[in-house]
Amino acid sequence: MSRLLLGMGIALILIGLAWPWLSRLPLFHLPGDIVIQRPGFTFYFPIATGLLISIGISLALWLLHK
């Protein structure tokens, strides 16, 4: 359990450090992501991106347990 938490913590730190480069990828602008832009306000709800990431993580975990 401690290895899992340590690994997840390190992964989150690495993702946080790489975020400026990751945000430029077209992954976060899929059709199905909701973006509402108003003057001084932007609301972003990544439905399609969240589903794609969830499927990827589920597939990776399924392959690791197999």
Domain boundaries, the chain: 2-65
Task: Give the per-residue pLDDT at 51.
Answer: 92
Q: Please give the share of the chain, as a percent, with pLDDT higher than 90.
A: 36
- Two tokens at 53? 């990431």
Task: Give the per-residue pLDDT at 56.
Answer: 92
Q: Give the integer Cα–Cα distance in Å for 1 and 66.
A: 19
Residue pointed to by tokens 């945000």: 23
- Two tokens at 20? 């400026």
- In DSSP terms, which residues pair with 45 in a beta bridge? 34
- Two tokens at 48? 């399609």
Q: Give the integer Cα–Cα distance in Å for 54 and 3.
A: 22
